[in-house]
Amino acid sequence: MKKISTLILLFSCLLGYSQQDLAQKSILGMLEMTQGQVEALAQAFDESQYDWRPAEGIRSTGETVVHVAAANYYLAMRLGYPPPEGVNIMEMEKTITGKDAILDAYRKSAEFIRAKLMEVDASSLGTEVDLGFMKTNRLTALLVVLEHTGEHKGQLIAYARSNGVVPPWSQQQ
């Protein structure tokens, strides 16, 4: 009986430990998928389509991808993780141009936010954080990262369809 009690206690501890970062791992899985689709879609546009915009005053294709990259750094910063040295989030949309440079900036920001997401202490998810446009808890802030990426994935899908670009995951095999 003592051995069974010990095993139950051990498994209970392991179960509790394995779920400690369940929220972050769940969000990370969805974020990786969404970021991968944004990257695949951004690659599907040709260089000239990066300057396309649906109307004056609306972000171009390239500006939209850079905006998502800058937001990744911004949201991480609001969570307490400053951008890497040399990254100026306030200037990114003005200074990063060209398909290759935009894709590179996006990839780096996506990798950065994913790493920082997993650094968030699970016990701090209920702690308030000020995102600048709303005050919320840290868990919701992580969901904002996912939602923001998804919002602009949808925008890029509309841009793609308007330019005759088929999202890679929609193409017939």
Q: In residues, how long is the chain?
A: 173
Q: Tens of pLDDT along 20-56?
A: 689 899 999 999 999 999 999 999 999 999 999 999 9
Question: What's the predicted TM-score (pTM) here?
Answer: 0.86
d(CA 27, CA 74): 18
| CB distance 68 to 38 below 8 Å | yes
**The predicted structure's pLDDT at residue 14:** 47
At 17 the pLDDT is 46
pLDDT digits (tens, 9 = 90+) for 69-102: 999 999 999 999 999 999 999 999 999 999 999 9
Cβ neighbours, 10 Å, residue 51: 11
Instruction: Note the CATH architecture for domain 22-170.
Output: Up-down Bundle (1.20)
Burial of residue 136, with CB atoms counted within 10 A of its CB: 0-12 exposed, 13-18 middle, 19 or more buried = middle
- Supply the pLDDT for residue 171: 81
| pLDDT of the residue at 4 | 62
For 113-138, write each residue's pLDDT tens digit: 999 999 999 999 999 999 999 999 99
Per-residue pLDDT at 21: 83
